Amino acid sequence: MLTTDQDLERYLDEHRDARLESYKALLRIPSISALPEHAADCRATAEWIAADLRASGVEHVEVAETGGHPVVYGDWLHADGAPTVLVYCHYDVQPVDPLELWESPPFEPVVVGDRILARGSGDDKGQLHLHLRATEALLATRGKLPVNLKFVFEGEEESGSENLDRWLEAERDRLTADFAVISDTGFFEGNVPAITVSLRGMMYAQVDVTGTAVDLHSGGYGGVVQNPANALAQIIASLKGPDGRIRIPGFYDDVVPLSDADRAAFAELPFDEPAYLANLGLPELVGEVGFSTLERRGARPTLDVNGIWGGFQGEGTKTIIPAHAHAKVSCRLVANQDSEKTFEQFRSYVEEIAPPGVVTTVRNLHGGEPSLTPIDHPATQAAARALTATFGREPVYIREGGSIPVCASFERILGLPVVLLGFVPPNQHAHAPNEWMDLNNYELGIRAVVRMWDEVAKLDAAGLARPG
């Protein structure tokens, strides 16, 4: 049975204003990991979190060097005999451009109704902050935690987690646990509580097409040389068919096909497709033939151009054949695709279709692996009970379209099952202007985390080991 902890509830009530101020203070630090000029801000955020953990009574708190932005580590390990959980969130955020589309400055959090608006409010500082506050409330009111916790708060998630795997490998002994909880996902359409059971991986490449050393006069050379921008457009146009299928040979070979049960689960999810479309403001949805919108988003791989540039970009006209043209292209991958293998397939296909007369090169910028977590794992079910008790309805199990490479890293490097317990509402503009977090989700999220630890405390640690 889940019992309401009166002392803890009272503590949370009394600290509501202070909690919001603390949340805002964390959001004010512009911890954009991708931009070198914000490196000091990332470090300041790490220090802020470390100080907060220490103040709550978490031990062995450390701003750990990784070679990039630091990881914040801390633990509390006095729940003898109870399971040990590794808690992961990330404190870095995405860049904020285009700035002019923000209704208020991205690092000056404001509360409008039930929403707090700021970069990182949901992804992922808000979720990190609710873990801080759950820990604080438990230690302040009970003097102990129901389970052993090890916190790993990363600062490079939004820029590829370049140093995390190496750090995890080096710290493997310190990071032993029964399972990991990652709070970097969200609720389902309609703000329905959800547990994400799979995440997509990522292959991210850059295509560079180079012609002459400098731009050429299009009157003097047009018609006799290859135009790098035209060549690039030709390459990109060849990557996908009109049926939405990706044309890279072998691309789909390792994709786990959807079972009838998988497709039935997708079909049962409460999803208002017209509302989803209306919210996007688009004339229609498109995608791979033969799959529903939710299947396309959660269980099928993708290929998208993320940026394309080259030649004259100014006002008016300039009659040139550009010297070079470039595109960033990424694929969202699903189990059991491999990011390295996909990159090699992509590179060899682009080299095969590249038009003559220019030099085309393909670079691997970043990769992350997809993951799948069992619904019937006892930790997943403990999370489900905590969500049900807190939010008043059972969670749905979803396959998330996004990528959290650390999920695969925890599975692969640390051997930990991963529970994706996230609280952001859908359509909260993650990575976009006007990112917001629902303050009810945030507040209830704190209670759900507390309940989760109380539920996990009842589990037999021996039964939590990752099978196989």
Tokens of 403: 């990528």
**Is 92 annotated in the active site?**
yes
Q: Please, what is the minimum distance in Å from the beta carbon of residue 430 to Zn ion?
A: 7
Q: Does 92 bind Zn ion (CB under 5 A)?
A: no
For helices 125-142 and 6-14, angle between their N-to-C axes, nearest 10 degrees: 120
Residue with tokens 């985390």: 449
Out of 157, 215, 411, 438, the active site residue is 157
Cα-atom radius of gyration of the chain, to the nearest Å? 24
Torsion of CA 346, 352, 357, 358, to 10 degrees: 20
Do 353 and 235 touch, CB atoms closer than 8 A? yes
Part of the chain binding Zn ion (CB under 5 A), chosen from 104-112, 182-190, 208-216, 224-232: 182-190
Q: Which of 123, 156, 171, 438 touches Zn ion by CB under 5 A?
A: 123
DSSP 424: B
Of residues 45 and 226, the one with the C-beta less far from Zn ion: 45
Q: How far apart are CA 73 and CA 439, in angstroms?
A: 26
Q: Which stretch binds Zn ion (CB under 5 A): 13-21, 124-132, 193-201, 347-355?
A: 124-132
Active site residue 443: no
Closer to Zn ion by Cβ: residue 165 or 344: 165
The interface region with Zn ion, picked from 6-14, 119-127, 133-141, 292-300 by CB under 5 A, is: 119-127
- The answer, yes or no, to whether the previous bond of 336 is cis (omega within 30 of 0) is yes
CB of residue 422 vs Zn ion: minimum separation in angstroms? 9
Active-site residue (options: 5, 52, 75, 92): 92
CB of 157 to Zn ion, least distance (A): 6
> By CB under 5 A, which span of 178-186, 194-202, 282-290, 376-384 interacts with Zn ion?
178-186
Of 417, 377, 370, 427, nearest to 397 by C-alpha is 377
Binding mask 315-354 for Zn ion (x = CB under 5 A): ----------------------------------------
Task: State yes or no: residue 124 binds Zn ion (CB under 5 A).
Answer: yes
Pick the binder of Zn ion from 52, 75, 178, 184 (CB under 5 A).
184
Are 72 and 64 in contact by the 8 Å Cβ rule? The answer is: yes
User: 405 or 417: whose CB is closer to Zn ion?
Assistant: 405
Number of H helices, E strands in the chain: 14, 18
> In the bound complex, what is the minimum distance in angstroms from residue 90's beta carbon to Zn ion?
6
- Tell me the C-alpha to C-alpha distance, in Å, between residue 433 and each of 51, 103, 276: 29, 8, 18
Q: With contacts defined by CB under 5 A, how many residues of the chain interact with Zn ion?
A: 3
Smallest gap from residue 86 Cβ to Zn ion (A) = 17
Q: Which two tokens stand for residue 247?
A: 């044309």
Residues 162-200 as b/e (b if ≥16 CB within 10 A, e otherwise) read ebbbebbeebeeebebbbbbbbbbbbbbebbbbbbbbbb
Site for Zn ion contains 156 (CB under 5 A): no
Least distance in Å: CB of 145 to Zn ion? Answer: 25
Contact residues toward Zn ion (CB under 5 A) are 123-124, 184
| Residues annotated catalytic, as ranges | 92, 157
